Structures are given as C-alpha cells and as structure tokens.
Amino acid sequence: MIRAVCAAVLALGAVSADSAPALLPDASVRLQAARYAPAETDMHWLGWIGAGAGLLAIDKVTAYLTADVETIIGNTRRAFDATQANYHLEPGLRGSLGGGREATLFFHHVSRHLVDRAKAEAVDWNILGLRFAGRRRGRVPVGFAASLGHATLASLVGYRWEATGHVDAAIVSGEKAEAYVAGDARFVTVERSAAFPRGDFLDRSAEAGARWRRDGRTLQTFVAWERRNDVFVETPGARSRALIGFRILFNSGGYRADESTPPRAFALSPRSLTRE
C-alpha cells in the first residue's frame, strides 16, 4: 500500500514546469433528503449537506477538499428528532488521465456522533487510499469508480481495509434529462472486538431514478435499495431497506460529483469527480 501511494504521488506530481497554477478552479454543493422504508423509531429520514472545492490546480493535477454532514432523523422525542450526525472530511490530489478518466490519492476522515445523547467513546476512522474513476460515452453513457484504502485510525469499529465500487448508466437520455440506474458496493475487512464482534462485511445498493440538468445544476429523484452494516453508532447492526428521495447538486469548473450516491457515506460509496 505504501509503494502504491508513493507511485500515485509521483504520477500525480508529474506536471509541466511551465503550467500556470489556478486557484479555486472548481466547486460543488450537494443536498439530499430521503425517507427510509421501512422506517424505525430512530431512523425515519436521511439528510445530507456537503460541499467541495478544488483548491489549487497545476496542469492536470488538482488539490481538493470536501466536507459533508450526514444526518439521521427519527421521531424518538419529537416529530423530527436528529439521532445521528456523521461528519466526513476528505483532502486529496486528483489527476486527469485523459479520456474522461482520473486517479485520486485521498485521505478520508469519518466521525460519528449521537445527537443530544450520551456517547461513551469516540467512533471515527481515517482511510488513506487510491481511487480510479471514469466515464464512457456512447449510446448508453456509463460512469464508474473504484477505490482501495487502508485505515490509519479506526476507533471502536475495527476497520482495516476498504474497497469500494460504483457504476452508473443513463439508460434513457435527452439533452437536459435522463433516466438512470446505479449500483454501489463497499467491502470492509474488520478486526473483531468485544464491542463489535461481527466480521468482514459487504455493503451494497441499487438505485434507479431521473435527473434534470441545467447550467451546472442538477435535480434528481430516486428510489433505492440498500444493505448497510454498522447503522448504529456504538453497537453493530445491519439493515436492508428502501430509500425514496431527491438530490440537488451544483457544480462549477468542468468537474461534477458522482450523481447517484452520497460522497462516501459511512457505509457506502466513494465520491468521484469526472470531467463533463
């Protein structure tokens, strides 16, 4: 893993000496709301608010930062009662490989919290890894992403290695609107503990929906199914459930975020950025 990271740094750092740096070359904002079905007392709704920006671009390499908040809402104490807040922070370097493909060296931090409830110990982890993403044009445009990373820190949950994959296909597309299907998978190796006695696990999801684009703005409506592990903060637990919701996206600077899934939800998929 160390050799692979070093090789990626060297590859991403191979820029032209005469390339003029560009400050803040791109930015993105993402909002999402979805209803779980079936719903549980502590888990009725999923909310997502996030933003990202390219900080500095030199030739084909961009240093970037993303920050996101994932909120789980139930009705334990009131009609809308936030029960979990999960914070995501990711700095990294992404480099264009040409042909709609890019490679990313990332450091992803996740910190999970109970809202207005006591929490005995920290629940967080860091993943250092590599991501490859691309988009194939044609009669049926297809976007894809895959990543492999190792945990440099994993408090309580015991994560070690994480591999993710994503695919997205526009099955019916027009000038401004399209219908799509998508799938995600996340495999995690785990060091068992008394608090989390479960072993390695595979999260996966399937999604279908429609999206409308205009001048860097996108509105999506979707229906999804997911099998998700570690849905609780301090204890193990898995759920299979449907989600019905919408997303609002804004992207500038010629890059766009993966449109069918949240950017590295704590038990789901990676964020990838691909050129239009």
| 137-163 pLDDT tens trace | 888 999 999 999 999 999 999 999 999
Q: Are 78 and 88 in contact (CB under 8 A)?
A: no
Whether residue 275 has pLDDT greater than 90: no
pLDDT of residue 63: 98
Q: Are 93 and 61 in contact (CB under 8 A)?
A: yes
pLDDT of residue 131: 98
pLDDT-based confidence at residue 209 (cuts at 50, 70, 90): very high
Burial letters for 207-229: b for 16+ Cβ neighbours within 10 Å, e otherwise? Answer: bebebebeeeebebebebebbbb
> Residue 15 phi/psi, 5° resolution?
-110, 160
CA dihedral 256, 88, 80, 220 (to 10 degrees): 10
pLDDT of residue 270: 33
| 89-145 pLDDT tens trace | 999 999 999 999 999 999 999 999 999 877 778 999 999 999 999 999 888 999 999
Whether residue 5 has pLDDT greater than 90: no
Q: Tell me the three state secondary structure of residue 86.
A: strand
| 30-49 pLDDT tens trace | 999 999 999 999 999 999 99
Q: What percent of the chain has pLDDT over 70?
A: 84
Higher per-residue confidence, 266 vs 123: 123
Q: What is the mean pLDDT of residues 12-32?
A: 79
Distance between CA 256 and CA 276 in Å, rounded? 7
> What domains, with CATH codes, occur in the chain?
2-13+22-275 (2.40.160.40)
Q: Bridge partners of 33?
A: 47, 246
**Mean pLDDT of the chain, nearest integer:** 88
pLDDT-based confidence at residue 8 (cuts at 50, 70, 90): low
